[in-house]
Amino acid sequence: MSIGIIGSGALGSNVARALAKSGQAAMISNSRGPASMTQLVEELGPSIKAVTVQEAARADVVLVAVLGGHRQGAERPTRLE
């Protein structure tokens, strides 16, 4: 079973960290491309591989860890209290 993570921010990187700690292989991606995650995957170890969003989306299980609805120029989501 392959695992793909789309989004390398706080949620995506922490899920990748937990998977790496348990020895589970996974792929992580972001909109800036694999080269932008060099430091992160070096920190996480050999079980986590930086890939394109398209590659991560082809995994058996895909975690989409991105802010919903945020687009350049769009208003940030408001915090619920």
| Residues 6-65 pLDDT 10s | 999 999 999 999 999 999 999 999 999 999 999 999 999 999 999 999 999 999 999 999
**Is-above-0.85 flag for pTM?**
no
* Domain layout of the chain by residue ranges: 3-64
Q: From CA 21, how far away is CA 33, in angstroms rounded?
A: 23
In Å, how far from its chain's centre is CA 8?
A: 4
Residue 68, pLDDT score: 72
Task: Say yes or no to pLDDT of 76 above 60.
Answer: no
- For residue 61, give both structure tokens: 């299980």
Question: 66: which 2 tokens?
Answer: 């991105």
